[in-house]
Amino acid sequence: MHNRNNAISSSPVLPPVMRNLPTSGLRTVPQRLKNLDYRSREYLTEHEVDQLISAAGKVGRHGHRDATLIMLTYRHGLRVSELVSLRWDQVDLRQGLMHINRLKQGNPSVHPIRGPELRALRRLQRDYPVLPYIFSSERKAPLTDDAIRKIVGRAGVEARLPFTVHPHMLRHACGYKLAQAGQDTRAIQHYLGHRNIQHTVRYTQLSSDRFKNFWKD
């Protein structure tokens, strides 16, 4: 897979806090951490996405398929259920457009697909020419949710990322990247298919760049 340098950059990560204080036979009360610190890592950086795509492309007989699904999941903020349901009739390779049917009562949208994605999808179509679903198994059935999770998790291990990687981290990475790039919150909402803008605000709340033009001196 030759898409290492084509992955969209994402914003810096807020690492989870993990503190295990040693005890010397005394019972201690651990310091309460913020709610965010209890959570596992929520999203990936540009470099980590790049590593993930590269690693997926080197594993197994379906490396190109797996690297492509990671790229599309990230660039279009796809949920796993949206990814596995993607069909070739939703993609117009000539116009460079992809129709996304958002689930969870989300708003459907049409996304542009760029050079790296177009090249990857064209190759995928040559490799799997008669299948209706973009991402299919050897049995010619759409990949299952569990298969997607295994593919992404395996790529994370292969890339030697120091934490467990799951597909939804790619959707969050997309949201944080768009916020970091200064995109309008409403535009991000429509891009990710959120019905409730409160689900989108989380990305702008953690983007430090939203303050950069407050002072001009």
194 catalytically annotated:
yes
The span from the CA of 170 to the CA of 46, in Å, is: 10
139 is known as an active-site residue: no
Q: Which of 43, 74, 191, 203 is catalytic?
A: 203
Tokens of 148: 């997607």
104 has catalytic annotation: yes
Q: Active-site residue among 65, 172, 177, 194?
A: 194
Task: List the catalytic residue out of 41, 76, 171, 172.
Answer: 171
Residue 38 among the catalytic residues: no
| Among 58, 104, 140, 202, the one annotated catalytic | 104
Q: For residues 52 and 44, what is the distance between their CA atoms, to the nearest angstrom?
A: 10
Tell me whether residue 168 is one of the annotated catalytic residues.
Answer: yes
Q: Which long-range contacts (CB under 8 A, 24 or more apart) does 205-213 make?
A: 206/11, 206/14, 206/176, 206/179, 207/11, 207/176, 207/179, 207/180, 209/11, 209/179, 209/180, 209/182, 210/179, 210/182
Q: Which of 62, 65, 76, 79 is catalytic?
A: 79
Active-site pick, 111, 149, 168, 210: 168
**Cβ neighbours around 195 below 10 Å, total:** 12
Q: How far apart are CA 11 and CA 212, in angstroms?
A: 15
79 among known catalytic residues: yes
Residues identified as active-site? 79, 104, 168, 171, 194, 203
